[in-house]
Structure 1
């Protein structure tokens, strides 16, 4: 008798758990609706500061051809100097940035691309 009650209880709990773990709409999911507005100030500046400024400082070093210390510098690098190409290259590919480092995570690269697609807003 106790075995039957235990079996029925396990079955009932399993049914409740399985039936309650469903999603009728992708609108119910959080965090998949795309990126919010990406601006230089709220997103891109910290990416550049954390990954590029060591070489692309006010006075560039280690062969860096330009500074990336201001909004205008970074905007120009995206529009005219191939920044998106350089950060998108595969690990170890010639010209990949950050130079000599590890390729940025794709989610970070996607934020810079989103900034460009959204109009390079400051």
Structure 2
């Protein structure tokens, strides 16, 4: 009788373990996670404010050549001032921004690059 109880107990456990797998995306429930589009307002401004504004303020300080406080300033810096080149240099390379700091993570640089490549969405 104990063997029968054990077998009867194991059958539902086995069905649950092996019967509930499916690799079909069409069977997934719920809405997919939508990643926010990279725009100046929702992504780039935050990066600039946290990494660049200390020098590139409304009135630039510490030898910074331009302000990066507005959408127009940052767009112009990407298009005409080599901002992407400056932030993409290797750690320790001359001209790396932020000056004297650690190179931005590649994922952060990629966000700014993506923003530029996709039309500088505001």
Task: Report if TM-score (shorter chain) is over 0.5.
Answer: yes
TM-score, normalised on structure 1?
Answer: 0.73
- Alpha-carbon deviations, 1:52-110, whole Å to 9, x = none? 00000001001000000000000000000000000000001000000100000000000
Give the whole-Å Cα distance in 2 for the aligned partners of 1:51 and 1:86. Answer: 13
TM-score, normalised on structure 2?
Answer: 0.73
- Structure 1 runs of 4+ with >6 Å offset: none
Equivalent residue number for residue 103 of structure 2: 103
The number of aligned residues is 116
Unmatched segments (≥5 aa) in structure 1: 1-14, 25-29
Q: How many Å apart are 1:121 and its aligned residue?
A: 1.0
Query: Which has the higher Rg, Structure 1 or Structure 2?
Result: 2
